[in-house]
Structure 1
Amino acid sequence: MADDTQTPSPEIAYDTFAAVDIRVGTIVEADIFPQARKPAYRLLIDFGETIGLKKSSAQITVHYAPQDLVGRQVMAVVNFPPRQIGPMRSEVLTLGAPDPAGAVVLIAPDHPVPNGARMF
């Protein structure tokens, strides 16, 4: 992995990229996660009938309020192993990119797509 966000990572084979399962989901619940070490929200994301509802911890408190997240579509990696974050088991990695100050901005489709749609 690159040392910073400006340096491109080394080239990889397409099959390596294809192994990462990135899907669209809709946030159905969002609340403050007080047990997280850094400010974060607990998210419940609907990835459609096949994948279902998944939990995620996301450090997105700078740009988003919990009530504004419900109904919003996001992108997430759904095939990483779950991670224990405090008392919560985070099942997916919600994707974002840093703004100039380093705060996370969510990655999302700019038009509605079906929950569970795979990124390619």
Structure 2
Amino acid sequence: MISYTDFEKVDIRVGRIVQVDDFPEARKPAYKLLIDFGAEIGVKKSSAQITKHYTKEALLGREVLAVVNFPPKRIGPFISEVLTLGVPDGEGGVVLLQPTQDVPVGGRMY
């Protein structure tokens, strides 16, 4: 069990995907994402293994949730700055977590 205080340390924000690139160097199929979190946080990079359910074109402009206060993580030649959140589909794919209505980028989950 964790306390609510522990949960508050995890900074989960809404961002909008503004660029999607292939990531051929990744061990598992993935995209390199640029996600805009608004003026306070800015644009951050993320690697995401979401190729099963999403095309690059379908991802552009999509709102997603991401942890923005983990330290950067090297994934091959790429530095991922945020953790884009998703859940497994039961068949090896990932389904993104996202708001069900449009919300301002940078909004913090609570």
Range into which the TM-score falls when normalised by the shorter chain = over 0.9
The code of the aligned residue for 1:101 comes to E
- TM-superposed CA distance for 1:73, in Å, is 0.2
Identity score, percent: 65
Does residue 49 (structure 1) correspond to residue 34 (structure 2)? The answer is no
Structure 2: give runs of 5+ residues left out of the alignment.
none
Q: CA RMSD in A?
A: 0.6
Looking at structure 2, the residues matched to 36 and 18 of structure 1 have their Cα atoms a distance apart, in angstroms, of 32
Pairing 1:111–2:101 present: yes
2:11 matches 1:26:
no
2:2 maps to 1:12: yes
**2:109 corresponds to 1:100:** no
TM-score with structure 2 length normalisation? Answer: 0.98
Task: Tell me how far 1:102 sits from its aligned partner.
Answer: 2.8
Q: Distance in 1 between matches of 2:25 and 2:57?
A: 19
For 1:99 and 1:38, the matched residues in 2 are separated by: 16
Consecutive unaligned residues of structure 1, counting only runs of 5 or more, are 1-10
Residue 29 of structure 1 deviates from its aligned partner by 0.3
**SS at the partner of 1:48?**
coil
C-alpha separation between the residues in 2 aligned to 1:39 and 1:22?
Answer: 24
Q: Which has the larger radius of gyration?
A: 1
Give the TM-score normalised by structure 1.
0.90
SS in 1 for 2:19: strand
How many residue pairs get aligned? The number is 110
Does 2:63 correspond to 1:73? Answer: yes
Amino acid aligned to 2:9: A
